[in-house]
């Protein structure tokens, strides 16, 4: 079965991401970790406790569930999207997809592999403005050779249901040769 690891935004909680992703991912295994601090560690200055926590959580999932290794997504919203994108790019040998809803940046430790990428952003986002974030980030990723699907939508700092559905649907699509 596919696995989606969904990361919350700054000041958010794991339970708050369930409604965003649950209805769009029937049949998928969902892992909703919570950052060890007010947001994910790379945003606070470097990789550390949150990576260790995610490693342990994933180890438990793989030990107890049959996960399809061709369909493992690291997803997130806002700061969680930045963290998900960064970790997926640095661990593309594990994560086949990065689903980033309104990311601010990507800071992969060292890029590994080529996960497929979905990025969405609201045109009126006043938390992480689209011009400073996704509109700069997407071309950099495309020039780097990544398969990026990018969607802008009218609205602010949230994830419309249709956008979440499209992102999750990528897990069922065959990879281009």
CA dihedral of residues 145, 21, 49, 119 (deg, nearest 10):
20
- Give which of 134, 37, 55 is closest to 91, Cα–Cα: 55
Q: Residue 51: phi, psi to the nearest 5?
A: -65, -45
Angstrom CA distances, 58 to 35, 86, 161, stand at 14, 17, 26
CA dihedral of residues 20, 25, 29, 30 (deg, nearest 10):
-10
How many Å separate Cα 59 from the centre of its chain?
19
pLDDT tens sequence across 22-67? 777 778 999 999 988 888 887 777 788 899 999 999 999 999 999 9
pLDDT at 60: 97
pLDDT tens sequence across 88-142? 999 999 999 999 999 999 887 788 999 999 999 999 999 999 999 999 999 999 9
Q: Give the residue-averaged pLDDT of 6-29.
A: 82
User: What is the reported pTM?
Assistant: 0.93
- Those residues whose C-beta lies under 8 Å from the C-beta of residue 26, and which sit 6 or more positions away, are none
Q: Is 90 exposed, middle or buried (0-12, 13-18, 19+ CB in 10 A)?
A: buried
Domains and CATH numbers, the chain: 3-172 (3.40.50.1820)
């Amino acid at each position: 079965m596919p696995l989606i690891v969904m990361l919350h935004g700054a000041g958010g909680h794991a339970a708050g991401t369930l409604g965003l992703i649950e209805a769009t991912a029937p049949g998928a295994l969902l892992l909703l970790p919570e950052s060890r601090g007010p947001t994910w560690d790379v945003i606070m200055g470097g990789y550390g406790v949150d990576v260790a926590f995610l490693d342990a959580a994933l180890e438990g999932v793989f030990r107890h569930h049959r996960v399809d290794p061709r369909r493992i997504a690291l997803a997130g919203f806002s700061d969680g999207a930045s963290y998900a994108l960064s970790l997926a790019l640095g661990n593309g040998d594990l994560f086949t997809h990065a689903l980033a809803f309104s990311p601010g940046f990507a800071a992969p430790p060292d890029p590994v592999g080529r996960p497929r990428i979905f990025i969405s952003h609201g045109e009126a986002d006043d938390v992480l403005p689209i011009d400073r974030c996704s509109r700069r980030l997407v071309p950099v990723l495309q020039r780097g050779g990544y398969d990026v699907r990018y969607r802008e939508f009218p609205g602010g700092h949230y994830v419309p249901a249709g956008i979440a559905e499209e992102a999750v649907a990528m897990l069922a699509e065959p990879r281009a040769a």
